[in-house]
């Protein structure tokens, strides 16, 4: 498992055209 797999799955599952995220938002994704 890649260390970024959680983030890629989040991006894939949310189907937005683009993302603007802060580091804090990304950290929250990894805490799921």
Tens digit of each residue's pLDDT, the chain (32 residues):
789 999 999 999 998 899 999 999 999 999 86
Q: What is the pLDDT of residue 32?
A: 64
Q: What is the pLDDT of residue 22?
A: 95
Smallest CA-to-CA distance from 5 within 27, 30, 23 is with 30
Residues 6+ apart with CB under 8 A from 6: 29, 30, 32
Count of domains for the chain? 1
- Rg over alpha carbons for the chain, rounded to the nearest Å, is 9
Furthest-apart CA atoms within the chain: distance in Å: 25
Rounded to whole angstroms, how far apart are CA atoms 17 and 30?
A: 21
What domain range includes position 32? 1-32
Give the pair of three-digit tokens for residue 31. 């805490």
Q: What is the pLDDT of residue 15?
A: 87
CB atoms within 10 A of CB 5: 9
């Amino acid at each position: 498992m890649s260390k970024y797999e959680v983030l890629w799955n989040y991006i894939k599952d949310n189907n937005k055209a683009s993302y603007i995220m802060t580091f804090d938002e990304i950290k929250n994704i990894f805490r799921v």
